[in-house]
Amino acid sequence: MGSVRLVALKGRLAASFFNGSLRGFQRNPTLSIRCLSSNMSPPSKAVVYEQQGPPDQVIRVIDLPPVEIRESDVCVKMLAAPINPSDINRIEGVYPVRPPVPAIGGYEGVGEVQSLGSAVRGLSPGDWVIPSPLSSGTWQTYVVKEESAWHKVSTDIPAEYAATVTVNPLTALRMLEDFNKLNSGDAIVQNGATSIVGQCIIQLARIQGIHSINIIRDRVGSEEVKERLKKLGADEVYTESQLEIKNVKSLLGGLPEPALGFNCVGGNSATLVLKFLRQGGTMVTYGGMAKKPVTVSTSSFIFKDLSLRGFWLQKWMSSERAKDSRPMIDYLLDLVRRGELKYEMELVPFEDFHVALDKALGKLGSHPKQVLTF
Between CA 282 and CA 311 the distance in angstroms is: 12
Asked whether 353 and 106 are in contact (CB, 8 A), the reply is no
Does one domain contain both 229 and 364? no
* Structural domain of 184: 169-311
CATH code assigned at 251: 3.40.50.720
Burial group, residue 171, by CB count within 10 angstroms (0-12, 13-18, 19+):
buried
Q: Which of 284, 311, 338 is the last residue of a domain?
A: 311
Hey, which residues does 40 pair with through a beta bridge? Answer: 68
In this structure, the answer to whether residues 284 and 145 fall within a common structural domain is: no
Residue of 95, 107, 142, 343 with catalytic role: 95
Show which of 286, 311, 336 is a domain's final residue.
311
Whether residue 141 is found in the same domain as residue 191? no
Q: Strand 142-146 relative to strand 211-216: parallel, antiparallel, unpaired?
A: unpaired
155 plus 214 within the same structural domain: no
Are residue 153 and residue 88 in the same domain, yes or no? yes
Q: Do residue 13 and residue 153 come from a single domain?
A: yes
Whether the bond between 133 and the residue before it is cis, its omega within 30 degrees of 0, is: yes
Q: Based on the fold, state whether residues 330 and 188 are members of the same structural domain.
A: no
pLDDT value of residue 302: 94
Amino acid letter at 149?
A
CB 187 within 8 A of CB 213: yes
pLDDT (0 to 100) of residue 37: 37
CATH classification at residue 76: 3.90.180.10
My answer on whether 155 and 230 are in the same domain is no
Compute, in degrees rounded to 10, the torsion defined by CA atoms 130, 359, 290, 240. -100
Q: Please state the domain count of the chain.
A: 2
95 labelled catalytic: yes
Buried b (16+ CB within 10 A) or exposed e, 254-280: ebeebbbbbbbbbbebbbbbbbbbbee
Q: Give the pLDDT confidence score for residue 319 in this predicted structure.
A: 55
Q: Are residues 154 and 7 in the same domain?
A: yes
Q: Specify whether 109 is located in the same domain as 189.
A: no
* pLDDT values of the chain reduced to their tens digit, one per residue, 374 residues: 444 344 445 555 554 443 443 333 333 333 333 333 359 999 999 999 999 999 999 999 999 999 999 999 999 999 999 999 999 999 999 999 899 999 999 999 999 999 999 999 999 999 999 999 999 999 999 999 999 999 999 999 999 999 999 999 999 999 999 999 999 999 999 999 999 999 999 999 999 999 999 999 999 999 999 999 999 999 999 999 999 998 999 999 999 999 999 999 999 999 999 999 999 999 999 999 998 999 999 999 999 999 999 999 998 987 567 788 999 999 999 999 999 999 999 999 999 999 999 999 999 888 999 999 99
Q: Are residues 209 and 276 in the same domain?
A: yes
DSSP H helical ranges for the chain: 3-15, 23-27, 31-34, 55-58, 85-92, 159-164, 169-178, 196-207, 222-232, 267-276, 298-302, 313-316, 321-337, 353-360
What pLDDT score does 317 carry?
85
Strand partners, 74: 116, 145
- Cβ atoms of residues 262 and 284 within 8 Å: yes
Going across the sheet that includes 282-285, the strands are 236-239, 211-216, 187-190, 260-263, 282-285, 307-310
Query: Using alpha carbons only, how large is the chain's radius of gyration in Å?
Result: 22
The backbone region for 64, taken as left when phi is positive above 0, alpha when psi lies in -120 to 50, beta otherwise, is: beta
- Torsion sign across C-alpha atoms 17, 23, 29, 31: negative
Q: What is the pLDDT of residues 34-86, one digit of tens each?
A: 333 359 999 999 999 999 999 999 999 999 999 999 999 999 999 999 999 99
pTM of the model: 0.89
Residues 176 and 246 in one domain: yes
